[in-house]
A = this chain, B = another copy of it.
Amino acid sequence: MINEGKFGVALVGCGIVGGGTARVLTEDIEYLQERTGIPFYLKYVVDKNFDNARNIGIPEELYEEDFNKAIADPDVFLVIELIGGLTVAKKIMTRALEAGKHVVTANKALLAHYGPELFALARKENVSIGFEASCGGGIPIVKALTDGLLANRIEAMFGIVNGTCNHILTEMTEKGQSYKDALQSAQKAGLAEADPTLDVTGMDSAHKLTILGSLAFGERVDLDSIPVQGIDTLDLYDIETGKDLGYIMKLLAVARQTSKGLALSVSPCFMHTDHPLARVSGAFNAISVYGHAVGHTMYMGRGAGSSPTASAVVADIIATALDITPRAFQTLNFWPDKTEPARQLAPEDIASRYYLRFMVQDRPGIVARISSILSEEGISITALRQKEDRKENIPLVMTTHEAKEGAVLKALDAIAKLDEVIETPVMIRIVEEHPENVI
């Protein structure tokens, strides 16, 4: 096939992911055209700097500094936004949509913040937004939620959706590295950004939870109302103690439907070692989805990186060119510009089991005092662990039955005020295998 005609694509942003996408769209284009029967092709690589494009061998004739020229080209049917960030990316996406171009993006922050507004604009302009690459890298999880699982009422979703955090937690768990050392080695290996804030604070996972939760439950999830805790305050001691108790620590994005609303959270959680997600290690991502008909399904793959993300971007281009994405976008009713704000369970009403650790001075009666405060809040203990030690200050570890977070926080607040308690208590959710309700 020849690279001309109305299926031209303009790629904006030729960094890591953009470069990977440009490579697939040049090196593999004949294979892709033949396999799909669609004469799509890369027409413009738009950037201010073409060093990376040159390094990976993208032909110079595609380079274009003027975004407006690219979107004014009637042969361009689709714009790929891969510059990331909020401000400029939003302008680019808006202008592309207003010019009547379909958009494909990997930008989770943008969609988590402005998704409904951008979707509404796309709908007004009769074009679509493909965003498979925004969540879970190359894992086709958006497609699973918007197509393969459509017959289901989704009951719960548990996701390891940040490869940087999963890599760091895996290193801490398997090699006994401190958070700081694990972060540094991840940065050296190119698995963490120089400024890792978005990842390690859990905010990137919250972006993805906003997007995936909105699709799964057909309710518009509000990013700002998700309680988010990252891995940056974790203590290796707790990871190792949890391991002794049969648990693996994962940063989980959780959305569960309850009778009182959607329970949403991003936080480090302990999972039993035999839970399928507990075994997803290193930079891999995985998402467990529970549907009322299908039961438990899980999707695993590389959640980031140049070519896995490119895989999702190119799949979206093909689905858009096939008119599949636009058609789904026009007809289906769960896109976040069409749905109502989620009825969300207040964080204090979310129930969970907990791992608690108290650093205490080893004085008589301290266990009784702590237990009694927990008991007053209706929190019952499943296991207690106090190692014999000659030190004056000792860690006291407890696991609890299911309790509401509000009650646990209230108890911890009271416990923290005890004279013998010398550090802020540690509280980590324990996530049990979600029940399947398959007929």
Q: Are A328 and B333 in contact (CB under 8 A)?
A: no
Residue of B20, B295, B301 touching A301 (CB-CB under 8 A)? B295
A308 at the interface (CB under 8 A from B): yes
How many copies, total?
A: 2
- Within 8 Å CB of A301, what residues of B? 294-298
User: Does A26 lie at the interface of the complex (its beta carbon under 8 Å from any beta carbon of B)?
Assistant: no
Known contacts A300-B297, A307-B439; is-contact A148 B315 (Cβ 8 Å): yes
B residues less than 8 Å from A299 (CB atoms): 297-300
A372 sits at the interface (CB 8 A): no
Q: In the complex, are the beta carbons of A139 and B297 less than 8 A apart?
A: yes
Q: Which residue of chain B lies nearest to A333 when distances are taken between CB atoms in the complex?
A: B37
**In the complex the two chains form, is B28's CB within 8 Å of A311's CB?**
no
Are A151's CB and B322's CB within 8 A? Answer: no
Contact with B along A386-419 (1 / 0, CB 8 A): 0000000000000000000000000000000000
Chain B residue nearest to A302 in the complex (CB): B295
Q: Are B318 and A322 in contact (CB under 8 A)?
A: no
Q: How far is the CB of A361 from chain B (nearest CB, A)?
A: 42
Question: When A296-B302, A306-B439 are in contact, do A35 and B334 touch as well, CB less than 8 Å?
Answer: yes
Contacts A148-B132, A148-B143 given; indicate if A31 touches B153 (C-beta within 8 A): yes
CB distance from A20 to the nearest CB of B (A): 6
* Chain B residues in 8 Å Cβ range of A306: 439
A315 to B151, CA, bound (A): 6
A122 CB to closest chain B CB, in angstroms? 16
What is the CB-to-nearest-CB distance from A252 to chain B, in angstroms, rounded to a whole number? Answer: 17
A32-B150, A295-B302, A307-B439 are known contacts; what are 12 more A-B pairs with Cβ within 8 Å? A24-B151, A28-B151, A35-B334, A139-B148, A148-B315, A150-B318, A150-B319, A297-B302, A298-B300, A299-B300, A305-B439, A324-B324
